[in-house]
Chain A
Amino acid sequence: MIGALFLYPLGYSLATAFTDPGSGFLSLVHFEKAYELYSTDIAFTLFIVIVSTLLTALISIIIAGILTLSETPWLVTALRNLYRWPLFIPFIVAAQCMRTFLAKNGLMNNSLVGLGLMEPLQATSFLDWRGIIITFVWKQVPFVTLMLAGAMASIDRATIEAGRNLGASRLRVLIELVLPQVAQTLLVGLVLSFVTMLSVLSVPMMVAGSQPTMLTVDMAFRINSYGDYGTANALGVISYLIAGTVAWIYLRHNMKREAQA
């Protein structure tokens, strides 16, 4: 089953990516074409996914840190009740919401104007790279926070108290004592988020314009408009290499930890 449903299509795509359609021989012609047409999009994709991953990490750490260390019960309750919601919203619905929220005359700008924080003339659309990043972060923060807050809740509470007892502020406790103990979980969450964001089609397609755009949109375009499976597969291999690099970093880190333990 695995062979038929997974390995065969994957192998076939890989083979197509490396085959010259004219001669049928092994060739990098599709990769040359992909690079020629889409090198900007490859860089754009990397930029979007890396920035989104870093922002996701930062916000998740803040939320999980508040959930673990805050002494303000109402803040903890509010955050705990709110932060998971985006988990249950599909990417395409999130993208749709963001279109109405981030547009020039969208809810965000209207609210800012309404609050007197911005002049109507200053309003600009966020429906570009910023929109993609905001949507990705909005969608992935709950996932990473869920893992991170769970890991933080399961560490020995006394290790937190020991730090505060010796004079560490809550911020220092979070950065120096809590985060290192849950780094592994954070890394897993971020790797999974990175790969997810790399493979989402709906968000870049709906939220941002066509130039530059992400590799998923380019692949769909090559197939739907030109039936050009060769270039699409070459782009797929590039995506896979990017994801593979991240997975390799994760595995290497894992092995290092195991060797130390």
Chain B
Amino acid sequence: MNKMLDKQELERKIQELTFSAVELNLFLDTHPNDAQALQDYQYVINTLQQLKDLYNQNYGPLLNFGYASVNDNYWNWVSEEEKWPWENV
């Protein structure tokens, strides 16, 4: 499945899963014993991590601090190839 996703599709998928994680995180804050929510959260963050790794490998860093591997000859965080979130797709 992963090979099929282009950059924008992968980004959207990561966005969706991140939203699920945010929502479950807040829900768990006030329902810390909810087994279903705990299980859902575990599933979401596992899948999210896989997709983030895939993104980092193929399209550059989503996080600058200690999560993405570094290119040998260039600091990709400042790459002019990449758009910042507020710029139109």
A and B: interacting chains: no
Residues of chain B touching chain A, judged by Cβ–Cβ distance below 8 Å, are none
